Amino acid sequence: MAHTLAGRAETPTQSRILRLVRDEGPMSRVDLADRLAVSRTTVAAEVSRLVDLGLAEDAGPAASRGGRRSTMVDLDGRLRFVGIDVRATSVHVAVTDGRLTVLSRTSQPSDVRRGPELVLADALALTRKLLAEDGVERPAGVGIGLPGPVDFHAGVPVSPPIMPGWDGYPVRDALSRELGSPVLIDNDVNVMALGEQHNGVARGARDFLFVKIGTGIGCGIVVDGQLYRGADGCAGDIGHIGVAPSGPVCACGRVGCLEATFGGAALARDAAAAARDGRSEVLAARLAAEGGLRAEDVGEAVAQGDATARRLVVDGGRRVGSVLASLTSFFNPDLIVIGGGLSALGHPLLAEIRSVVYRQSLPLATGNLPVVLSELRDDAGVVGAARLISDAVYDAP
Amino acid sequence: MAHTLAGRAETPTQSRILRLVRDEGPMSRVDLADRLAVSRTTVAAEVSRLVDLGLAEDAGPAASRGGRRSTMVDLDGRLRFVGIDVRATSVHVAVTDGRLTVLSRTSQPSDVRRGPELVLADALALTRKLLAEDGVERPAGVGIGLPGPVDFHAGVPVSPPIMPGWDGYPVRDALSRELGSPVLIDNDVNVMALGEQHNGVARGARDFLFVKIGTGIGCGIVVDGQLYRGADGCAGDIGHIGVAPSGPVCACGRVGCLEATFGGAALARDAAAAARDGRSEVLAARLAAEGGLRAEDVGEAVAQGDATARRLVVDGGRRVGSVLASLTSFFNPDLIVIGGGLSALGHPLLAEIRSVVYRQSLPLATGNLPVVLSELRDDAGVVGAARLISDAVYDAP
């Protein structure tokens, strides 16, 4: 049963109906009228239009509150969004329903350095496969997160340090043409923050930070419930804050950036050095067996009680914690979420970050400040990407 | 000619009229209707109500655009706001008209550590003196900035490190009772940011930082044209970001905070040490003559070509610049304004801050980033405090 392309909300009242039903579930027309403080006639007319647009549907009679029976309104059950999460070395795709519940997901290795044509071809192939399995011809919208700076309004990456060939590539327009659906792109940490806000630990948070520690390090900033992108759209680029004046050279060309001292790439480098220097038998054994080390190997060495591996993680946590302590004094967030691949290092990392943030920031700013791991984990990016485009579809222009 | 208390705007249209006339000057009713996209009848009714409220007045016939002559609308010429800027060692008060032009100003030494009763008594005496000279019985509103963290919604200072006795003192309500006018309080850097945005170098800036380097160091944050206060109202507290792990002990009890290494108090301390150690003849001579040194003495020693004094300023600029470089990567502002007493150190300080920010932040974030001195200088606090309360008076509830 192919589903034709859904339209977009046309009026503020339609937007408010869609958001209420998305965030709180099916609702009776009577309750919608109460919640939105508009007449039942208005609700009836707007819902009818939303049904025509393929965005909402009737969902049976509501429980009686006395008087005439009301009808439940739900999002159209055939509504589908696609979230694409392009990472440094893999592409992840999910198809969601209108409420952004993940219905199916898939991923494959894909090195972002191969350039936009090949990586987007991978993303398209995965997307088409999932849509075909679901019997969907065209999704209502597609969101995509990229691991580098993005000019959100132009829909293109901007001088991404780890993504040669992507600078200025028309990602949004190219995907939109291929899929026939509206597309929005943003950087990976922004979409992860949106995902965590939609359905994770940041639900209800107002001014929060989502810190991704993956191959690189970045931060999504939410102000008053909305993504904050900064004057040039590159806010949150904390991976290049200087933390070690005599530290390693960073991919950006400067010395001692946070992500040159910690993050997946730095941790793999330091683990290999420790293995070769004879500081860790566990890491040396893994290096000999596998021919190389990844950040995951360090996590497993920690789990095996390796003191050197643990030291590497704690040192990294201290660096990240120190930057977050400064940002806490500056931004006074109500929540800090730690996500990205390295958050799988779990407690040793989180405990050190927390300890440094609490010790180095003013008590007033940390008295009610939870520092927690992402709940959505691997899904934060795809759910957030779907959320990004669903907001655009559900919002009246 | 005593002026009775002006009311507050009652409707969004009234607010928009007041803000337009405040920011752009007197405007004809016809132009107001065009700009607000409402009917001339609506403008006439709303202006008439604003006249009754003592907020607006007719300002003569407008130049003809053909057809019937329109009448100019201006803010009521008798409208007065008071801006109070409480600093660590002095109190400054200004009376402004409705457009926040300073009509008169005064100040006196007043040590904030003497506690709220004595300091607010000073502020009240100065305020009453200026109002009496202007023949104003009650101002339309009073804004006040305090040199410490403020719970904006409760109208009280919160655990201010340099202000013993102020914690929880009902500053807003006490002043409001004494003056019979609405009062709002905020911290000093927030009101300085508002002042600079209203009538200084940050006019038109959208996402900017106002960095005050006075006795202490703090930062006002503006997001999308609005003050950002953070989850607990203490956003911008950058004076306590750690910059020197083995540096001096800070008033807050921790080690190496930014304001323990630079700012008026730290600079005076370091200058006295340099004078005593024989590193600066100029500073030693001033110390002998005056019995103590202030930050201003360092500025004058720099002007006389003293290399040690210059070194102290440049070292301080480097510390501040390093923190601002991190914040630039994080926040991606469109402007950084440097204000507060030490901005009088001028070029040597600003040049070093700029150089470090440009060198240590990513090119994308600094490509269009001016780092400039405050234009309002000594008036930023009083104008911003007046702006704070005028926004409340001009805004419909």
Give the ipTM: 0.92
Listed by number, the residues of chain A in 350-369 with a beta carbon closer than 8 Å to a beta carbon of chain B are 360-365, 367-369
Q: Are B183 and B148 in contact (CB under 8 A)?
A: no
Whether B237 and A330 lie within 8 Å, measured CB to CB = yes
Cβ contact, residue pair B223, A221, below 8 Å: no
Check CB contact of A154 with chain B, cutoff 8 Å.
Answer: no
CB B174 within 8 A of CB B142: no
Phi, psi of B226 (to 5 degrees): -115, 145
- Sketch the domain layout of chain B as residue ranges: 12-75, 81-197+380-394, 203-374
pLDDT at A72: 93
pLDDT one-digit tens code per residue, A48-92: 999 999 999 998 888 776 666 788 999 999 999 999 999 999 999
Q: Are A337 and A200 in contact (CB under 8 A)?
A: yes
Q: Is residue A389 less than 8 Å (CB to CB) from chain B?
A: no
For residue B252, the chain A residues in CB contact (below 8 A) are 362
Please tell me the class of the B81-197+380-394 domain: alpha beta
Q: What is the overall mean pLDDT for chain B? A: 92
For an interface test with B, give the residue of A228, A234, A360 to mutate (most B CBs within 10 A).
Answer: A234
Does the beta-carbon distance from A364 to B329 stay under 8 Å? no
Which residue of chain B has the CA closest to A329?
A: B237
DSSP labels, B78-135: T--EEEEEE-SSEEEEEEE-TT--EEEEEEEE--GGG-HHHHHHHHHHHHHHHHHHHT
Element containing residue B209 per DSSP (H, E) = strand B208-213
Nearest-CA neighbor of A312 among A323, A300, A324? Answer: A300
pLDDT at B365: 85
Picking from A229, A231, A326, the nearest residue to B326 by CB comes out as A326
Partners of residue B221 in chain A, C-beta under 8 Å: 330-331
For B242-253, what is each residue's pLDDT tens digit?
Answer: 999 888 999 888
Q: Is A244 on the interface with B (CB under 8 A)?
A: no
Domains A12-75 and A204-374 share a fold: no
Q: How does pLDDT run along chain A (397 residues), one tens digit per residue? A: 334 456 889 999 999 999 999 989 999 999 999 999 999 999 999 999 999 999 999 988 887 766 667 889 999 999 999 999 999 999 999 999 999 999 999 999 999 999 999 999 999 999 999 999 999 889 999 999 999 888 888 889 987 777 889 999 999 999 999 999 999 999 999 999 999 999 999 999 999 999 999 988 999 999 999 999 999 888 999 999 999 988 899 988 889 999 999 999 999 999 999 999 999 999 999 999 999 999 999 999 999 999 999 999 999 999 999 999 999 999 999 999 999 999 999 899 999 999 999 999 888 888 889 999 999 999 999 999 999 999 999 998 7
Kindly give the interhelix angle for B40-52 and B29-36, rounded to the nearest 10 degrees: 110
Taking CA–CA distances from B362, the nearest residue in chain A reads A240
Contact across the interface for B332 and A231, Cβ inside 8 Å: yes
Angstrom distances, CA of residue A20 to CA of A29, A37, A60: 12, 13, 18
Instruction: Please give the Cα distance from B197 to B85 (Å, whole number).
Output: 16
Q: What is the structure's pLDDT at A5?
A: 55
CA distance B150 to chain A (A): 11
Cβ–Cβ < 8 Å for B68, B86: no
Cα separation values, B245 from A360, B241, B261, Å: 11, 11, 11
Closest A-chain CA to B322: A242
Q: Dump pLDDT digits (tens) for B9-50.
A: 999 999 999 999 998 999 999 999 999 999 999 999 999 999
Q: Does A234 touch chain B (CB under 8 A)?
A: yes
- The CATH number corresponding to A81-196+380-394 among 3.30.60.50, 3.40.190.10, 3.40.980.10, 3.30.420.40 equals 3.30.420.40
The A208-213 sheet, strands edge to edge: A226-227, A217-223, A208-213, A335-339, A371-373
How far does CA A154 lie from the centroid of its chain? Answer: 20
CATH architecture for residues A204-374: 2-Layer Sandwich (3.30)
Are A376 and A100 contacting, i.e. CB atoms less than 8 angstroms apart? Answer: no
Q: CA-CA distance, A310 to A300, in Å (whole number)?
A: 10
Rounded-to-integer distance, Cα B85 and Cα B126, Å: 11
Which residue type sits at B80?
A: R
User: B330 CB near a chain A CB, below 8 Å?
Assistant: yes
The per-residue pLDDT for B65 is 65
CATH value of B203-374 in 3.40.50.2300, 3.40.630.30, 3.30.420.40, 3.40.50.300: 3.30.420.40
Q: Which residues pair with B186 in a beta bridge?
A: B145
Average pLDDT over residues B332-346: 94
For the stretch A75-92, what's the b/e string if a residue is b when 16 or more beta carbons lie within 10 angstroms of its beta carbon? bbebbbbbbbbbbbebbb
* Alpha-carbon gap: A53 to the closest alpha carbon of chain B (Å): 31
**How do strand B335-339 and strand B208-213 relate by DSSP bridges?**
parallel
Who's near A362: CB < 8 A, 6+ residues apart? A329, B234, B237, B240, B252
State whether residue A303 sits within 8 Å of chain B by CB.
Answer: no
B-chain residues near A363 (CB < 8 A): 159
**Which has more pLDDT, B116 or B67?**
B116
A159 touches B: beta carbon within 8 Å: yes
- Please check the confidence at residue B280 and state whether its pLDDT lies above 60: yes
**Are B190 and B175 spatial neighbours (Cβ–Cβ below 8 Å)?**
no
pLDDT for the residue B66? 66
User: In sequence order, which ranges of chain A are alpha helices (DSSP H)?
Assistant: 12-24, 29-36, 40-52, 116-134, 171-179, 188-199, 258-261, 264-276, 281-290, 295-303, 307-331, 347-360, 363-366, 380-394
Q: Do residues B172 and B190 make contact, with C-beta atoms less than 8 angstroms apart?
A: no
Annotation: CATH topology of B12-75: Arc Repressor Mutant, subunit A (1.10.10)
pLDDT digits (tens, 9 = 90+) for A237-281: 999 999 998 889 998 888 999 999 999 999 999 999 999 999 999
Q: B365 vs B283, which has greater pLDDT?
A: B283
Q: Tell me if chain A has a CB within 8 Å of the CB of B218.
A: no
Q: Which residue has the tokens 């043409």?
A: A177
pLDDT at residue A234, rounded to an integer: 87
Please return the burial class of B292, using the count of CB atoms within 10 Å of its CB with bins 0-12, 13-18 and 19+: exposed
